[in-house]
Amino acid sequence: MKRSLISMVIRVLFVFLAAVMTNAAMAQEAYPNRPVHIIVAFPPGGVTDVIARLMAAEMQKEFGQPFVVENRPGAAGMIGAEYVARAKPDGYTLFFIPNTHLVLPALRKALPYDSVGDFTAITLLATGPSLFIVRADAPWRDLKEFIADAKAKPNAIQWASSGIGVSTHLGGELFQHLADIKLFHVPYNGSSQPVQAVMAGQVSAAVSALNASLPHIKSGRVRALAVATEKRSNLLPDVPTFEELGVTGMRNETWIGVLAPAKLPRALAVRLNQFFMATIARADMNERFVAVGAEPVGVELEKFAALMRAEAELNRKIVTGANIKPE
């Protein structure tokens, strides 16, 4: 009697587990069966928005459903981020972010969400290295001459970034720390304005995202003294890295990643990751990314999650060390 009862319980469990697995498989196969919303926490026209729309068109072709880009700007990206953090983890809300998403926790004492814990990391799509630029007729022939001049004139040389607490600002602060120099910071609003300020002679130098400065480097109006990446950029192979020039540890990139709400089913996260990795590996997509000053990357789920945690901690250290306050 006991054996038959146990056998019956085991059979019922097998039937139940089989049903659960079948339903899960069917749910995965059915995705998506309605429009998917891609949130961008900034206004239209920026590089994050441009790449989000580029990928939305590719996703629509692949999955056969509309992928709708929604711009939800405001509060330095917090409005869009909170919206995604509160959304259902069902794959119908995706979030395209720049790495400023991981600067906010260092600047704000309290956020209405956890920038890492309330999201599922899908992949790092693309990076755009930061450059240290000066005007074409600047007196410094290279970065070493600039550093020597800055050491001789503490706080006398003005440099620009695209705003308080953004990636280029943190990059400039890190550069000063690593090179043991003091510069005078002039924050602007937006990525193009610091480059314009350098060309106009309003400031002597800038830490700039590659996509903002690349056209002016090619035209000869500004010079890039160094690129803040581990290896030279494929887009500017003649520009040395900070590392090559003796500034060890200088890394500063603008990157774009894809997130979803926390607790997204792993099978769906893997499926999305594989789609993005395969898509940006195509030669035609590489050309389209390069056209907006970005280099396609693509990383696995766990690697991107680890990168987010590490960068959030680095940002905290830079903001604390430089005593950066939000505007």
pLDDT at 235 over 90: no
Mean pLDDT across the stretch 143-151?
A: 97
Task: Check the CA dihedral 211-212-215-220 and report its sign.
Answer: negative
How much is the pLDDT for 9?
Answer: 47
Spatial separation of the C-alpha atoms in residues 314 and 307, rounded to whole Å: 10
Mean pLDDT across the stretch 139-166?
A: 95
User: Euclidean distance between the first and final Cα of the chain, in Å?
Assistant: 75
- The more confident residue out of 62 and 22 is 62
Contact 214, 235 (CB under 8 A): yes
Q: Enumerate the β-bridge partners of residue 7.
A: none
Is residue 172 exposed (0-12), middle (13-18) or buried (19+ Cβ within 10 Å)? Answer: buried
Is residue 160 exposed (0-12), middle (13-18) or buried (19+ Cβ within 10 Å)? Answer: buried
pLDDT at 15 over 70: no
pLDDT at 118 over 90: yes
Mean pLDDT across the stretch 311-319?
A: 93
Domains within the chain, CATH numbers bracketed: 32-127+254-322 (3.40.190.150), 129-227 (3.40.190.10)
Confidence of residue 26 (pLDDT cuts 50, 70, 90): very low
Confidence of residue 14 (pLDDT cuts 50, 70, 90): low
Name the average pLDDT for the chain: 90
Mean pLDDT across the stretch 119-130?
A: 95
Q: What tokens were used for 325?
A: 């306050």
How much is the pLDDT for 4?
Answer: 57
Mean pLDDT across the stretch 214-240?
A: 94
How much is the pLDDT for 211?
Answer: 87
How much is the pLDDT for 10?
Answer: 53
pLDDT at 182 over 90: yes
Spatial separation of the C-alpha atoms in residues 303 and 260, rounded to whole Å: 16
How much is the pLDDT for 41?
Answer: 94
pLDDT at 251 over 50: yes
To the nearest whole percent, how much of the chain has pLDDT over 90?
76
Alpha helices for 44-181 (secondary structure H): 47-63, 78-85, 104-107, 143-152, 167-179
pLDDT at 8 over 80: no
pTM: 0.81
How much is the pLDDT for 276?
Answer: 98
Mean pLDDT across the stretch 15-23?
A: 48
- Asked whether the bond before 32 is cis by omega within 30 degrees of 0, the reply is yes
**Chain segment 281-302, per-residue pLDDT in tens:** 999 999 999 888 889 999 999 9
To the nearest whole percent, how much of the chain has pLDDT over 70?
91
